[in-house]
Amino acid sequence: MSKNIKEIKTEAEIEEFMTEPTPGLIEQSKKIKGSVMALGATGKMGMEMMEMLLRADKAAGVKRRLCVASGFSNPENEKKLNALGIETFRGDLSSEEFIDSLPEVENVFFMAGFKFGSSGDYTKAYHMNIIMPYICGRRYKASQIVAFSSSNFYPHTPVGQEGPSEESRLDPQGIYGWTLLGREQAFRINAQKHATKCCFYRLAYAQHFKYGVVVDICKAVMASDEFKIAFPYVNLISQRDANDAALKCLSFCENPPRSVNVSGPAVPVREIAERAAKIINKRIKISESAEKSTMILSDRFAEKSFGPYRDSVNDIIDAIAAYIAGGGKDWGKPTGFTSVNHKY
């Protein structure tokens, strides 16, 4: 039986918990045919996503070829994947020669991109977020592709209203938002040319013990007696539920491409800070935001299609706050969720 997130204490338990497949994912593993390639799957989510897929396949009695292509700036990631039995290919994903050398596969996850530093390097942002996806989409035109995208290009939502759905108008701001929308269009152009089936996985912030908005808020609470709210609301979903949804998007690859929002419910940032402060056992002064709008999503389609998320908002906050308060080590990668001006 699956543990509650609040029961997780050790590093080994975190990995086991975050890569546990759902019964629905195990059933999907029986239906999805062919091998899987994840491009750029060595960031915050990719390693655990591929291990989750491996566990789902094993539980389903399915043997398939699993591959990851990446620059592998951290060699330990490559060693870990190899130890799990996942094939690795080391190289530059923006190199057409390298991409063309990769094996044929039936299913592709595209996870590479450039966010932090993009506001100061337009050339790299365009190259990594638009040109590279086009190259990869052209190479794997005969595969079905789940392309990781973002909620960043949706319009801000007035406080008190539901966030945008997949059908809402788009309003990209800043170089990151524009180039992420460009990423989708790069895959869409290839899909139009070659009838490729795609799904755009539009994720808000996934929450992990070592990364996410809750980690950022907990660290801010511990570091100061005053907490300043930037955006008044934020969506919360655990990383294991976000990865479960990403993998299930393989069943929603279509032509024209389908977009799927994945976010979890919208939660007041004040509520997160107050709950975290209580667990951390610290009194803080909270300064309200002057913002009358916020960056949130509606993911009704995902929750209806994939089933309810396993980890509740309160349990996510409680578990991560206890971990950080107890001296747990995070990845040292702030989310930047307070960037109201979309500069990263």
CA–CA separation, 272 vs 280, rounded Å?
12
Q: Residue 35, Cβ neighbours under 10 Å: how many? A: 16
Provide the token pair at 5.
Answer: 């997130």
CA nearest neighbour of 41 among 10, 83, 87: 87
Spatial contact of 226 and 287, defined as CB atoms under 8 Å apart: yes
Confirm whether 313 is domain-assigned.
Answer: yes
Provide the pLDDT for residue 275: 96
Spatial contact of 8 and 17, defined as CB atoms under 8 Å apart: yes
Confirm whether 343 is domain-assigned.
Answer: no
Provide the token pair at 38.
Answer: 């994840």
* Domain that residue 255 falls in: 5-325
Residue stretches of the chain with pLDDT short of 50: none
For 228, phi and psi rounded to 5 degrees? -105, 125
Confirm whether 277 is domain-assigned.
Answer: yes
Confirm whether 188 is domain-assigned.
Answer: yes
Confirm whether 344 is domain-assigned.
Answer: no
Count: domains in the chain: 1
Q: Residues near 120 by Cβ (< 8 Å), separated by ≥ 6? A: none
Would you tell me the crossing angle of helices 75-84 and 46-60 to the nearest 10 degrees?
0
Provide the pLDDT for residue 156: 93
CA–CA separation, 333 vs 320, rounded Å?
15
229-256 exposure pattern, b = at least 16 Cβ within 10 A, e = fewer:
bebbbbbbbbbbbbbbbbbbbbebbeee
**pLDDT digits over 187-209, tens only?**
999 999 999 999 999 999 899 99
Return the amino acid letter for 7.
Answer: E
Question: Which CATH number does the domain housing residue 34 bear?
Answer: 3.40.50.720
Provide the pLDDT for residue 116: 64
Confirm whether 336 is domain-assigned.
Answer: no
Confirm whether 331 is domain-assigned.
Answer: no
CA nearest neighbour of 39 among 183, 173, 241, 240: 183
**pLDDT digits over 47-102, tens only?**
999 999 999 999 999 999 999 999 999 999 999 999 999 999 999 999 999 999 99
Provide the pLDDT for residue 316: 98
Indicate the pTM of the whole model.
0.95
Confirm whether 136 is domain-assigned.
Answer: yes
CA–CA separation, 49 vs 194, rounded Å?
28
297-331 exposure pattern, b = at least 16 Cβ within 10 A, e = fewer:
bbbebbbeebbebbbbbeebbbbbbbbbbeebebe
